[in-house]
Each structure stands twice: as C-alpha cells, then as structure tokens.
A and B are shown apart, each in its own frame.
Chain A
C-alpha cells in the first residue's frame, strides 16, 4: 500500500505488501537525513540515512528517496513483516546551533496479517 498525502499519522498495510512513508522536511539547507524506527516503549533505532548529494539510497528491504526540489523524503519498505510495525520518524540535520537532528511528527505503520 501507499501512504495518501504527507504527514499521515497512521498507515496500515497488509503483511507482504510494500509500504511508503512520506515526510516533508523544513530546511532547504539541511544536508543530512535519517529515518528512525521507534517501537512501543523503546528508543528510536536507526534505519537508513542519506546525504543531500544523493537522491536515493538502498538498504536491506528499505529505500530512502530524497527530492530536494520539493523538500520531500520517503521511506519505502519492501515485503513488510509484522516486526515492521512501529512509528517511523524522519529527521534532518538543520545545522545552526543545535548541531543535532530535528524530527518530524512520525507515522505509525501497522502491519495487518
């Protein structure tokens, strides 16, 4: 299944289907982006990252796409499994004084059997 629109709080997909989670980032000067996965009651866990000089990066079952023109980031998860159920956050390094990461609101991915 695909997400409908940006900032969708919940995305429900069938086990085995592909899922796409979208994120709009805020700062055109951001040069580094990360997707984190957060399971209930746990801390965020790194999934994949991408730098601004790339538009696509692939990992194991995951792909991140970066569109700098419209400041859009997406995470594609192939052949979803029950263990993929979690909240997914995109984060950007906006630079400036924080020198850390600014997180988006998150999308709750639910995998249905």
Chain B
C-alpha cells in the first residue's frame, strides 16, 4: 500500500524560474490538499482539490501559484517566477472523502530552495 507520493523531494530553482511539484494521493483517495511549511513553523493550508476541481484555494497566493488535479495523473502545484520567499517545504495530503471528519495522510514533502 503506497502512501502519498511526492516528487521531487528536493528542488532548487533560481529566481524567476518555474517550480512544479507533483503529488500522487493514496490509492482510492480522491481528495488532495497542499500545505506549505516554512522552517520552524506549522503547516499552512494552500488549496484543496478533487479530481478536475479546485474546491478551496483560499490559502493560495493570488499570483504565480496554481494547482491542478487532472482526471488522470498526479496533482501538480505550480509556482511561476519563483522568489526567495517561496523557499519552503510543500506537503501534499490526501483523504478518501471530505477532510471534515477524517484524517489526512501526508507525503514526505517537496523542499524547494530558491537561489
């Protein structure tokens, strides 16, 4: 039983480049959440997606950030024109149904470093 799979685990980008982070949820899970974690801080909600739909993106910066969860393939968090402040660990979590009454299962994270 594979857990939530994220890749790449580490990504280095220069300012102005694009970063793409991928997340494959656990088998049977159709709900995906992205969280961002700065060093020594907690996890901040970014976006909640179901297949082909963005349900809640209230935690996502209005510019440069986008997320998708296509019918086939992994969920992707895309950061355009990265800046140093984007350096963080980005965690994906999945659940089989709504997270309101259940646990979220987290991946190991993708650590983005912007030079």
Contact = CB atoms under 8 A, between A and B. Distances in A.
A93 B101 contact: yes
Contacts of B8: none
A98 B45 contact: yes
Contacts of B103: 34, 46, 49
Contact of A101 (B55, B56, B99): B99
**Interface majority SS on B: helix, strand, loop or mixed?**
mixed
**Interface majority SS on A: helix, strand, loop or mixed?**
loop
Interface in B59-115: 59, 91, 93, 98-109
A93 B99 contact: yes
A104 B104 CA distance: 15
A98 B59 contact: yes
A46 B33 contact: no
Q: How large is the interface on A (under 10, 10 to 19, 20 to 34, 35 or more residues)?
A: 20 to 34
Interface string B28-56: 00000101000001111100100000011
A100 B42 contact: no
Interface of B: 4, 33, 35, 41-45, 48, 55-56, 58-59, 91, 93, 98-109
6 contacts: A43-B106, A43-B108, A44-B106, A46-B103, A89-B43, A100-B104
Interface of A: 31-32, 34, 36, 42-46, 49, 89, 93, 95, 97-106
